[in-house]
Amino acid sequence: MILVDDLHKSFTAKKVTVKAVDGVSFEARDGEITGLLGPNGAGKTTTLRMLYTLMKPESGKVLVDGIDVATDPERVRRVLGVLPDARGVYKRLTARENIAYFGELHGLDAATIAERTERLSRALNMQDFLDRRTEGFSQGQRTKTAIARALVHDPRNVILDEPTNGLDVMTTRGLREFLKQLRGEGRCVVFSSHIMQEVAALCDRIVIIARGQVVASGSADELRALTGQDNLEDAFVKAIGSEEGLHA
């Protein structure tokens, strides 16, 4: 369960201040997939970075399973599994060693790591390349390794930043099934995307972000009703006020 209340964040570069996140609030429940939908540069990644404690919000509050991100970031990171926008893997380590490294940093023992690795590699279908060094991995293999590594500590909450970016159709389908599986296990799943079809196909709850603000939120049906459009695509365009971000 993740609660986000009125987040603000701005960046100053060369004396120009840009408001990246300007009052974002939403709620992501357990056993649901929540999608952050918005065009590139809308503030999705910055919002997520504040959720997983990489950045400090200027104002506003984030509660993960009731723990305040501002007061106890380390405990928050323990209950979070994160696939950031940057998902580099260590190329001189095998996929298994990459996963084990993060398991150890989470304080898990070797037996637990081995058992979780086994389970995740089956769920993500990575047996073929699990013991290969990640140098020369395809984009899909790298993403799978990064996801497995992010979930090795069996977190209740999962945050994924554009997880399907750069993946082919088959891998994307496999990944969607995996996210549904996570939801089925009662986890709270938050992911961001700029592709409307993907969000529509997967999410129980959609939060549309544009220019650092939440412009609409709710289930697909609620969004259609809210904007008075029958078609979700039209609803999205109406909500963000432009046609950018429609192209998948």
Residues that bind other proteins (CB under 8 A): 49, 52-56, 74-75, 77-78, 80, 82-93, 97, 101-102, 104-107, 133, 146, 149-150
Looking at the Cβ atoms of 194 and 205, the one nearer to other proteins is 194
- CB burial class (10 A; 0-12, 13-18, 19+) of residue 111? exposed
Shortest Å distance, C-beta 75 to other proteins = 8
Shortest Å distance, C-beta 86 to other proteins = 4
Shortest Å distance, C-beta 227 to other proteins = 34
Looking at the Cβ atoms of 111 and 170, the one nearer to other proteins is 111
Shortest Å distance, C-beta 220 to other proteins = 30
Cα gap 140→132, rounded to integer Å: 14
Q: Which two tokens stand for residue 84?
A: 């950031």
Looking at the Cβ atoms of 71 and 170, the one nearer to other proteins is 71
Question: Do 127 and 167 touch, CB atoms closer than 8 A?
Answer: no
Looking at the chain, how many residues does it have?
248
Looking at the Cβ atoms of 18 and 248, the one nearer to other proteins is 18
Buried b (16+ CB within 10 A) or exposed e, 73-105: beebbbbbbbbbeebebeeebbbbbbbbbbbee
